[in-house]
């Protein structure tokens, strides 16, 4: 191969035609090295969805919930969601209401640099709802006496409520707190 051909070939291989910058040999596309995990969190509590990526140049990280870009403190300083330097998404408090559930959903992190992008596995964030189980049991059929007791706990709202209590002369119902 002639020196001129070698020089031309090297020039073509070492030049990134997408943005016109020089492709350095040590540059590499992003890859996710820590994927986020599913979370079940109580309303009002803090939470973190972890994500770490490698690549050169260092990739930028963006988060998406149900296919929509997540607004963080970088976009709005008043946001309750913060993008940490590691790439993780930190929630100062989980927001969840009867009509609005802005934090519950399926999340992915996307790492990008000029060589491409990497997408993490999906991670679901579910909000645990507090329910109380009230049961009334007849102690004596003749005197019509009743005893009420309460069992409190947290269950995942997406799993639904499936509560039952069986005993002679007993009734049970589930109510939302």
Q: How many CB atoms lie within 10 A of CB 134?
A: 14
pLDDT, residue 99, reads 80
Question: Distance between CA 23 and CA 14 in Å, rounded?
Answer: 5
Asked whether residue 45 carries a pLDDT value surpassing 60, the answer given is yes
Between 29-38, 58-67, 145-154, the lowest mean confidence (pLDDT) is in 145-154
The mean pLDDT of 112-138, rounded to a whole number, is 80
pLDDT, residue 70, reads 97
Question: Distance between CA 6 and CA 144 in Å, rounded?
Answer: 99
Asked whether residue 147 carries a pLDDT value surpassing 50, the answer given is no
The mean pLDDT of 95-123, rounded to a whole number, is 94
pLDDT, residue 3, reads 47
Q: What are the residues whose beta carbons fall under 8 Å from the beta carbon of 95, sequence distance 6 or more?
A: 43, 80, 102, 103
Q: Of 118, 114, 112, 116, whose CA–CA distance to 21 is shortest?
A: 114
Asked whether residue 9 carries a pLDDT value surpassing 80, the answer given is no
Query: What are the structural domains, with CATH classification, of the chain?
Result: 21-126 (2.60.40.10), 128-176 (no CATH)
What is the chain's mean pLDDT, rounded? 76
- Bridge partners of 105? 125
| pLDDT classification of 139: cutoffs 50, 70, 90 | very low
Determine if the pTM surpasses 0.75: no
- 163 or 65: which carries more pLDDT confidence? 65
Asked whether residue 169 carries a pLDDT value surpassing 70, the answer given is no
Task: Tell me if 146 sits within 8 A of 136, measured CB to CB.
Answer: yes
């Amino acid at each position: 191969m002639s020196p001129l051909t070698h020089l031309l070939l090297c020039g073509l291989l070492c030049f990134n035609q997408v943005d016109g910058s020089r492709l350095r040999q040590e540059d590499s596309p992003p890859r996710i090295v820590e994927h986020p995990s599913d979370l079940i969190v109580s309303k009002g509590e803090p939470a973190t969805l972890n994500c770490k990526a490698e690549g050169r140049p260092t990739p930028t990280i963006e988060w998406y919930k149900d296919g929509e870009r997540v607004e963080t403190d970088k976009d709005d300083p008043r946001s309750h969601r913060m993008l940490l330097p590691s790439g993780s998404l930190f929630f100062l408090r989980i927001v969840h209401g009867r009509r609005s559930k802005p934090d519950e959903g399926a999340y992915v992190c996307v790492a990008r640099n000029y060589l491409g992008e990497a997408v993490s596995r999906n991670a679901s964030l579910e909000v645990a709802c507090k329910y109380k189980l009230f049961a009334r049991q007849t102690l004596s059929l003749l005197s019509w006496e009743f005893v009420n007791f309460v069992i409190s706990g947290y269950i995942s709202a997406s799993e639904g409520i499936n509560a039952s209590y069986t005993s002679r002369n007993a009734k049970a119902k589930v109510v939302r707190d």
